[in-house]
Amino acid sequence: MIISELSELQRRTLFAKFAKIAYKNKDEAFQSGKFWGFGKVNFFDVEGAQAYLFSNDTDVIITCRGTQPGEMNDIFADLEVFKSDSVTGTKIHQGFKEEVDKIYNEVEDKVELQPGKKIWACGHSLGGAMATILA
């Protein structure tokens, strides 16, 4: 599967499915990734910030896990609404930025091992905000 060759609707559907996969455990996520043609999977879990990186020969999908009820780290991240400077100089939600900062170096290290591939980011809730910042 080459994501850029999919229609807009197909891409949106695929990313919605991967946003849902972000909530699965590692074994289920690996099986789901394989089903969709992404056999290489990395899981990141740093101080409660979680994401998966799926890759195939042409594409990388980074999907970030969103707010989980009962996970105090997620709730605190959502509530930390003060603005913080981003690397581009814009102001962004401090709690969302801090969650990205936790996983950024590990994600970047894995992305750098994927030269020439198109990078896509998705997520739901807190994960959607994290994906936007990562992009």
CA–CA distance, 103 with 92 (Å, rounded to integer)? 17
Domain count, the chain: 1
* Cα first-last separation, the chain: 21
Q: Are 20 and 29 in contact (CB under 8 A)?
A: no
Domain encompassing residue 12: 3-134
pLDDT of residue 86: 82
Please list the rounded mean pLDDT of every run of 10 residues in the chain (135 residues).
Answer: 96 98 97 96 96 98 93 82 84 91 97 96 96 93
pLDDT of residue 71: 85
CA–CA distance, 44 with 134 (Å, rounded to integer)? 14
Residue 108 CA, distance from chain mean position: 12
The CATH number for 10's domain is 3.40.50.1820
pLDDT of residue 74: 82
